[in-house]
Amino acid sequence: MAIQDIYPTALRLLGRPVLVVGAGPVAARRAKGLLNAGARVTVVAPVASAALRELSDAGLLTWEPRTYQSSDVDGVWFVQTATGLPEVDTQVAADAEAQRIWCVNASDHESSAAWTPAVAVVDDVQIAVNAGGDPRRAMALRDAVATALDTGDLPLRRRRVQVSDFDELNHRGSVALVGGGPGDSGLITVRGRRLLGQADVVVTDRLGPRELLKELAPDVQVIEVGKTPGHHPVPQHQINRILVEKALEGNRVVRLKGGDPYVLGRGGEEAEYCRQNGVEVEVVAGVTSAISVPAAAGIPVTHRGLAKGFSVVTGHEELSEVPARADHTVVLLMGVGQLRESAAALAAAGLPQGTPVGIVENGYLPDQRVTIGTLGSIADQAEAVGVANPAVIVIGDVVRVSPFAPPHFKTTDYSTTTPNKSQTRVSTP
């Protein structure tokens, strides 16, 4: 039998009697699969494996502890033979053929009337792979396809809504708040990528993995609600309303955000509004730029001997509440416009003017740029080179660890891995 001789189909065996001849590992796997399909399974074998005995003891299938008889195929819809004895399997297959019953012969795939594919289930999608009678090859291909569906590399989005999926009282979709990371499409989580691939509507920020938007199907609605400092064309209350309205229309909505939705991303407000309006909401954590973008420049927010803790703030007003010590890292988000005021506030609180400061623009992107200076010099440096958002500012001794730090910053060996090749534009005092 060649693969071209196969007509792929799927059997609906719910409530129908099927026969498994044999009780070894292969028969046990096939019996479990048939049970999962809702079939009424009878196993015929003189001796049963522990796995099959457990299924029998639990009342999930019927085990006949004897040798096979030709009459065993009478009245069944499907037969699986896997005794490990070719002469027995051949007899079972012949008896099934005589009664025009489909039979899988595990001993001889070439002459078998049916093949059992390698199967995986992702959501409500079932993947079945036949590979020319090579089960290991089929399993490898099945696993690769399942992984691609899990990660969103293959489209898992529903195109046809089943009538049973909704009723008049429950005609609503869902919202997923997905943290997309700092911008590189490889830094979104597997769960986030998968939900994005299933989305009917994507409500997206200016930041985050925008390259992934190009992979969406043409009929996916993309709604831009991105903000820039001082310019919010779509106010937050309107974003909240869009999420709920689109979900109540029956759509799977993804709110794609840069970084993490719960780290200075107003995700908590959006989730609360959805729940208040009866919309199911899922929060998918993202790689926050507060930690990941400094790491892109080789700057850890904590480092043994340098810093045991860190604070994340968005403006100079909060700086009075954080420790003004070089051994406590301060991470400023959206802080470029107030950098001079923030530096002055930290200095006034007692942080030395010589404290290292690093600014990382466009973290992980090809135009990433790192500017390193001190608390006393960084505002002038940033202004001179035109530092602009999106940028993350790191203040503290951990900046000394960066491979971009000037030699006089390094008071000991703070070795790090080689930075990404894209990280080439550096400004220092």
Catalytic residues: 205, 227
Q: Residue 114 in 3-state DSSP? A: strand
106 phi/psi in degrees, rounded to 5: -70, -20
Q: How far apart are CA 178 and CA 193, in angstroms?
A: 9
With vertex at residue 204, the alpha carbon angle to CA 203 and CA 206, rounded to the nearest 5 degrees, is: 155
Phi/psi at 80 (5° precision): -125, 120
CA–CA separation, 116 and 125 (whole Å): 17
- What tokens were used for 13? 């065996």
Closest C-alpha among 101, 105, 156 to residue 127: 156
Rounded CA gap, 117 and 8, in Å?
Answer: 10
How many angstroms separate the CA atoms of 355 and 394, rounded?
A: 11
Residues 6+ apart with CB under 8 A from 276: none
Run of H or E including 227: none
Closest CA to 195 of 176, 174, 170: 176
Contact 26, 106 (CB under 8 A): yes
Residue that the structure tokens 């196993």 belong to: 43
Question: Rounded CA gap, 226 and 221, in Å?
Answer: 15
Cα distance between residue 51 and residue 55, in whole Å: 7
Task: Residue 190: name the closest of 231, 141, 158, 153 by CA.
Answer: 153
CA 417 to chain centre: 27
Length of the chain: 429
Strand partners, 426: 370
β-pairing verdict for 369-374 and 356-361: antiparallel
Contacts of 395 (CB under 8 A, 6+ apart): 329, 330, 331, 332, 346, 351, 355, 356, 357, 375
Q: Is the peptide bond before 300 cis (omega within 30 degrees of 0)?
A: no
Identity of residue 207? L
Hey, what are 243's tokens? 């999420």
